[in-house]
């Protein structure tokens, strides 16, 4: 029997989101959330009854059309028109796990009772989530301000029986899906279309997804770097706690501690070294990896605040008897955080590729390109090329999106965050890091095999045992793309406990 997560004012954090997703929990509204939603809707109905005062997006047009008054009999059509006209997404399809996160985060935001939506609308979104009905959404179209308008319009279309959804492994028309479940399309009431489209759930879902992957990759970067450290026969002194206590950045200290834990009991680590110093890509692992950890913690705080916030507009404050038009939909905090996350993760790839380069350079009693009979065999020459090309691409992808802005809506929306572009770029960077680390793992595993007179630590050897059953020692040249793909799949399949990766 599936567990249920009750949507309430309980704080959502990364570990809870991870638990909901991985345990395939269903969603339901708590009594508190139901009350919040109903009270907000009832207040709005009462407020608008016999009231001709213009209230943005409720009885007016949108954007630069905010001064156009809409008659009461057309308010429902206004909201439906909003959803249809704003569904202008293009580009690639948003990955399904991110769509599911968008549903979760939109439901959470609407549950606080500041949006004025019908409870039936929120419950239908929950039905979509629980039945794995995922609206088809595109990556391009959001400026990251006024909310993620185009992506969220595509998220909302199936409520009206329009657009497409993924269901049962297929892409089908929403109208077909509605009939299959014997549902009626939702008739949007005043304010609802705006509540659905205003919001940062596209950027937020990408951010949460990227953070979950980044924390795991940060851990794996330390582990793979530790393997490379032994494979390159490096000194252990740069990881001594004394070094880091006199420059105690939290991430730096944590990285040094983790490298020492991974290599505890290593025969290679304890052996006498011929080299007084090691290249920066080894010696400065704590400083570089640690800076990324500190960035992850900063970005985590930003997104934790965002996913527990109300980001549509206008907001309804029942106690104060106010409906206020503001700008909580503006994605600037997320845009900056996503750019920062992409830059910090790209650095894990940059330093990883440098370690790979050192390993194939024929230094420290390792054969050139880590292969017997080099010349006849090219060995690990070209995987380093591949890593270098990906690192170069990441440098291009980490050009900040948040410094750009293009005027829209006839000048009404004259500064936008471009956080949605930052979000999609950030995911590409992080997926690239997975491949770069997989290539380093291939090289480090191969290099360790040439040091069989001494072993690495019990932890490293136990980690490498299943890996080597998938990517065995390369004696002679073979199609190495298959080994790279297998290495990426190995890292993807690793399940690391939340208490380890979020600490």
Is residue 163 within 8 Å of 157, Cβ to Cβ?
yes
Cα distances from 332 to residues 230, 327, 395, in angstroms, run 43, 11, 22
Residue 300's region, left for phi above 0, alpha for psi from -120 to 50, else beta, is alpha
What tokens appear for 97 in the block?
A: 């796990």
Q: Are 428 and 92 in contact (CB under 8 A)?
A: no
Tokens matching residue 299: 């970005």
Return the sign of the alpha-carbon dihedral for residues 382, 384, 390, 391.
Answer: negative
Quote the longest CA-to-CA distance of the chain. 88
Bridge partner list, 323: 316
The H or E element spanning position 6 is strand 4-7
C-alpha span between 459 and 450 (Å, rounded): 19
3-state secondary structure of 322: strand
CA separation, residue 140 to residues 33, 149, 340, 422, 461 (Å): 32, 11, 21, 11, 44
Closest CA to 221 of 97, 337, 95, 354: 354
- List the structure tokens of 220: 């794996």
Closest by CA to 313, choosing from 150, 116, 485, is: 116
What is the β-pairing status of strands 26-29 and 4-7? parallel
56 an active-site residue?
yes
Residue 245: both structure tokens together = 């206590």
The answer to whether 334 and 302 have CB atoms below 8 angstroms apart is: yes
Catalytic residue among 56, 112, 167, 340: 56
Between CA 139 and CA 144, with CA 140 as vertex, the angle to 5 degrees is 100
d(CA 149, CA 311): 12
Contacts of 419 (CB under 8 A, 6+ apart): 142, 144, 145, 200, 203, 331, 332, 334, 335, 338, 401, 402
- The Cα 47–Cα 58 span in angstroms is 11
Q: Where does residue 259 rank: exposed (0-12), middle (13-18), buried (19+ CB within 10 A)? A: buried
Q: Which two tokens stand for residue 296?
A: 């992850």
Report the catalytic residues.
56
């Amino acid at each position: 029997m599936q567990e249920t997560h009750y949507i309430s004012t309980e704080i959502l954090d990364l570990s809870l989101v991870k638990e909901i997703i991985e345990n395939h929990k269903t969603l339901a509204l708590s009594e508190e959330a139901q009350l919040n939603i109903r009270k907000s809707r009832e207040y709005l109905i009462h407020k608008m009854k016999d009231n001709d005062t213009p209230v943005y997006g409720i009885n007016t047009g949108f954007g630069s059309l905010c001064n156009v008054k809409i008659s009461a009999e057309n308010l429902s059509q206004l909201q439906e028109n909003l959803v249809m006209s704003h569904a202008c997404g293009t580009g690639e399809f948003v990955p399904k796990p991110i769509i599911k996160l968008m549903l979760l985060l939109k439901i959470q935001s609407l549950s606080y009772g500041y949006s004025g939506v019908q409870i039936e609308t929120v419950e239908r979104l929950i039905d979509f989530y629980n039945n794995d009905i995922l609206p088809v959404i595109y990556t391009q179209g959001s400026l990251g301000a006024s909310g993620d308008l185009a992506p969220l319009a595509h998220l909302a279309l199936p409520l009206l029986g329009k657009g497409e959804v993924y269901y049962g492994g297929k892409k089908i028309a929403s109208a077909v899906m509605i009939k299959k479940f014997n549902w009626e399309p939702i008739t949007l009431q005043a304010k609802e279309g705006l509540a659905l489209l205003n919001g940062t759930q596209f950027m937020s879902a990408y951010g949460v997804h990227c953070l979950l992957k980044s924390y795991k990759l940060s851990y794996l970067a330390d582990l793979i770097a530790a393997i490379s450290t032994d494979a390159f026969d490096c000194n252990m002194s740069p990881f001594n706690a004394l070094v880091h206590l006199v420059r105690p950045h939290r991430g730096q200290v944590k990285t040094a501690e983790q490298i020492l834990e991974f290599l505890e009991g290593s025969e290679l680590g304890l052996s006498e070294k011929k080299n007084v110093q090691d290249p920066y890509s080894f010696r400065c692992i704590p400083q570089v990896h640690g800076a990324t950890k500190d960035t992850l913690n900063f970005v985590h705080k930003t997104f934790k605040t965002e996913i527990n916030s109300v980001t549509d507009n206008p907001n309804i404050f029942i106690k104060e008897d106010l409906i206020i038009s503001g700008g909580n939909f503006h994605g600037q905090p997320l845009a900056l955080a996503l750019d920062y996350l992409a830059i910090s993760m790209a650095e894990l790839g940059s330093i990883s590729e440098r370690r790979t380069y050192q390993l194939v350079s024929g230094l420290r009693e390792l054969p050139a390109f880590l292969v017997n009979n080099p010349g006849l065999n090219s060995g690990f020459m070209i995987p380093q090329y591949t890593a270098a090309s990906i690192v170069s691409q990441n440098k291009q992808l980490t050009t900040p999106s948040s410094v750009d802005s293009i005027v829209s809506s006839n000048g009404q929306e004259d500064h936008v965050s471009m956080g949605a572009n930052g979000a999609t770029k950030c995911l590409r960077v992080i997926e690239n890091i997975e491949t770069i680390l997989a290539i380093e793992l291939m090289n480090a595993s191969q290099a360790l095999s040439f040091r069989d007179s001494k072993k690495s630590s019990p932890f490293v050897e136990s980690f490498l045992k299943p890996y080597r059953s998938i990517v065995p020692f390369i004696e002679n040249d073979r199609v190495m793309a298959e080994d790279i793909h297998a290495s990426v799949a190995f890292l993807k399949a690793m399940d690391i406990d939340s208490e380890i990766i979020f600490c």
